[in-house]
Amino acid sequence: MTTTLPSSTSAPAPARLPAVIYVLTAGTFLMGTTEFVVAGLLFSVAGDFSVSVADAGLAITVFALGMIVGAPTMALATLRLPHRMTLSVALLVFAVGHAAGALTDDFGVLLATRFLSAVATGAFWAVATVAAVNSAGPRIRTHALGIVLGGGMLANVLGVPLGAFAGQLVGWRGTFWTLAVLAALLAAAVARTVPAGRAAATAPSIRAELASLGSGKLWLVLAACAAATGGVLSIYSFLSPILTEGAGVPESAVPLVLMGFGLAALVGSVIGGRLGDGHPYATPLVTAASTFLVALGLLAMSSSPVAVVVLFVLLGLVGLSANPVLVGLANRFGGEASTLATAMPTAIFNLGTAIGTALAGAALTTDLGARGPLLVGAVGAALVLVPLGTLALRERRGAQRA
């Protein structure tokens, strides 16, 4: 959204983010941790349930499927509920799901609890992005989304590596118990600090929300969301075999590499959010092209330990940095009834993750071995350029006609 600034002899002071943005960020940090902590625990989970590493990766795929279901359906189901209530209940369900997962000895039950936790996570992410947009002023919406989504990136810096370290020390069940306790504590904090949200009388109707999905530009943005995360996270989710079996990196170094990826992703998310306010089309195009080049580099030098580690960190920097920009564009193209449109990227990000990780897991079992997920990632990164390029051309032609 473009805002014309009033004429003045001095530049206006930068808008300050409200405190609620940081509370929401704490929630996305927790949710981001659980979604991908299994990536650092694949061998532990596989050994505990006597399944293959590729099958253990289903715990990530199933979680992504739950997010696909949870984000749009919960956005509609809770349309007239206070944001505070929805976010608190989502965290409590998340806690129950992780406790149940930590107690089970059946791999099928584990997958079911992952799905339940993912539905709750989808509800939290969907409502959190809407609450962030509503809380921030027009000039800093993308910046606010960059901070909130940055919580998921911060999870890759701290949450996922710490979870992997804990898994090596006390097992993956200890990591799940920790997540359950933290979710219950955060639910209490959200109930005390997050505003209730808009009154039910002013909430848009479900019909209006569904009508907002009629925008062709919105679906181009969503296609970019799917391809972007599908490409990057098909590589990220199978980092353990890529590093250990493909490049010969010790398993003990995997959490450190995860931390490097997460730190770079956090920086990329914040920078991408800031740049996206002024350059909403150029920013995703540049990051998508950079991601494709990095993925090709990983594929070409998959047996070099140093090259793989360096390129993997670069993948974190550029691979997901346009996500807050894409969410901001979805909010814009959704129009006034934009709750569902703003929630859709969360579902589509995870649709890309589910497809990407499923294909990467299948590729891992072929003769390609650890290079299989890298090939899937490179193809996904190339596909991002198609909807983004189409969208940029449509916007350019529209501006010329205007």
Asked if residue 10 is part of any domain, the answer here is: no
Q: Nearest to residue 338, comparing CAs of 79, 25, 66, 124?
A: 79
Q: Nearest to residue 234, comparing CAs of 345, 135, 342, 368?
A: 368
Q: Give me the pLDDT at residue 107, please.
A: 93
Q: Give me the pLDDT at residue 256, please.
A: 84
Asked if residue 13 is part of any domain, the answer here is: no
Q: Give me the pLDDT at residue 220, please.
A: 92
Q: Give me the pLDDT at residue 212, please.
A: 78
Cα distances from 99 to residues 125, 155, 159, in angstroms, run 21, 20, 18
Other beta carbons within 10 Å of 192? 10
Asked if residue 317 is part of any domain, the answer here is: yes
Asked if residue 302 is part of any domain, the answer here is: yes
Domain tally for the chain? 1
Residues in the chain: 402
Other beta carbons within 10 Å of 19? 11
Q: In the chain, which residues have pLDDT < 70?
A: 1-16, 135-142, 156, 196-204, 336-338, 402
104-128 pLDDT tens trace: 999 999 999 999 999 999 888 878 8
Asked if residue 3 is part of any domain, the answer here is: no
CA torsion angle for 69, 73, 78, 79 (degrees, to 10)? 140
Phi, psi of 82 (to 5 degrees): -60, 140
Q: Give me the pLDDT at residue 219, please.
A: 92
Asked if residue 348 is part of any domain, the answer here is: yes
Cα distances from 296 to residues 228, 307, 308, 375, in angstroms, run 15, 12, 11, 8
Q: Nearest to residue 386, comparing CAs of 267, 219, 272, 268?
A: 219
The continuous run of DSSP H or E covering 285 comes out as: helix 282-300
SS3 (DSSP) at 254: helix
Beta strands in 66-204 (DSSP E): none
What CATH number did the domain enclosing 341 receive? Answer: 1.20.1250.20
What residue numbers bound the domain in which 286 lies? 20-199+206-401
Non-local (6+) Cβ contacts of 303 within 8 A are: 246, 247, 248
Asked if residue 12 is part of any domain, the answer here is: no
Q: Give me the pLDDT at residue 92, please.
A: 94
Asked if residue 11 is part of any domain, the answer here is: no
Both tokens of residue 205?
């109707």
266-299 pLDDT tens trace: 888 778 877 877 788 888 899 999 999 999 999 9
CB-CB contact of 48 with 176 (8 Å): no
